[in-house]
Amino acid sequence: QQQVKQSPQSLIVQKGGISIINCAYENTAFDYFPWYQQFPGKGPALLIAIRPDVSEKKEGRFTISFNKSAKQFSLHIMDSQPGDSATYFCAASGKSSSNTGKLIFGQGTTLQVKP
């Protein structure tokens, strides 16, 4: 119940295209869903996050779509650029007494944007 499943494992997109990464979760106590971007040799950087009370959140070229009934959420990167090439992690956390604040991470997606 604590797992977050992420797909695909790797993704190759042409410059200007749309990158889509999907995540699914089981634990209905999760109420916070962030996406992190990690470049080689760096720590993960928070990209965008969403709560279940909204179905979509957009920040610049990055959009999270959230489907509460399906327990799925996805990251869309519009107009993908070579500089977006990185590893992306979805995560989830909840406020239950057993996991307050701690993040459960997906397996990660390595994105390569070709020029």
Q: Which residues bind another protein (CB under 8 A)?
A: 32, 34, 36, 41-46, 49, 89, 93, 101-108
Phi-psi domain of 16 (left: phi exceeds 0; alpha: psi -120 through 50; beta: other): left
Least CB distance to another protein at residue 41 (A): 8
Q: How far is the CB of 65 from another protein (least distance, A)?
A: 19
* Least separation in angstroms between CB 23 and another protein: 12
Tell me how far apart the alpha carbons of residues 64 and 82 are, in angstroms, rounded to a whole number.
20
Strand-pair category, 109-114 with 10-14: parallel
Q: Which is nearer to another protein, 44 or 75 (CB)?
A: 44
Comparison of 36 and 73: residue with beta carbon closer to another protein: 36
The residue (of 17 and 99) whose beta carbon lies closer to another protein is: 99
Query: Can you give the C-alpha Rg of the chain in angstroms?
Result: 14
SS3 82: helix
